[in-house]
Structure 1
Amino acid sequence: MPVPPIDTADESEQEICRQHLQILALIGDKWTILVIGRLRDRTLRFGELHRAVTGISQRMLTRTLRQLERDGLLTRTVHPSVPPRVEYTLTELGSTLLDSLSYLAEWATTNRQQITANRRHYDATHQGD
C-alpha cells in the first residue's frame, strides 16, 4: 500500500534542496545502483545478492538494503523457516528508477572512451600541479 506524500507547502527551499541532495546521494551510490540492477528481473535472497554484487561486504549490503527499504525502493520479506529465508524485491517506486539508471549507464558506455582520453590528456598536461 503506497504511503501518501507529505505536504511540502510549509517546507523551505533549503529543506527541499537538502532532501534532493540526500536522495541523489543514495541513488548515485555505486552499491545502490548495483543492488537495484540485480533486483531488476527477480526477487533475490540476501546470499544471492551478496554473490551477485561483486566486492560488497555483508555489512555494506545490509546498510544498502536497509536504506532502500526505508526509502520504499524495495521490500524485504521474511519467510518463517529455519533458518529464516529473507527475500528482497523492487517496489513499483524502485522499478521507476531503472529507466533513469539505464539512461545513465548508456551515457557512460557511449562516452567512456572520450572520458578516458580526456583523463589521460589532463594527467599528462598537469603533472606536478
Structure 2
Amino acid sequence: MKKVLIVEDNELLRTALGKGLLGLGFDVEAATNGQEGLEAAKKAGGDLSIILCDVMMPVMDGFQMLREIKQDPVLRRIPFVFLTAIGDLDRMEKGRELGVADFLIKDNVDLDKLTEVINKYA
C-alpha cells in the first residue's frame, strides 16, 4: 500500500484530499505546515511513497520543507510534489532547482489527477 503525506494548511482541502485518497486505498498521513510535515516525514522515514505539499504555509513553507527533505539521506529519495494555488513560473523554477518532482495547481486537482501523479512518481 502506498503511503502519502499531505502537507496543507487549508483544513478543508487537506481533509478532502485525505479522505479521497483513503477511499482509493492509500495510507494517508497529514500535516498542517512544513514543520509538522518534516516531523511526520522523519517519523515515517522510508515508508513514505510520496509527499504532496502546499507551497505557501505558516511556520515553514513548502520550499524550506523541500530543502530539509533533500538534505536527509533517507527522505531525499521520496518524490515531492507541490500543491499550489498559483501557476507562478518563478515558483515553479525555484521548486525545480530544489528538486521537486512535479507541481499540481489546486484548482485543477481531482482524485483522478492526484492518483495519476502518485502512481507516476511513487
> TM-score by structure 1 length?
0.25
Higher fraction of helix = 1
Higher fraction of strand = 2
Which structure's relative contact order is higher, taking Cα pairs within 8 Å and 6+ residues apart? 2
Of structures 1 and 2, the larger Rg is shown by 1
> TM-score by structure 2 length?
0.26
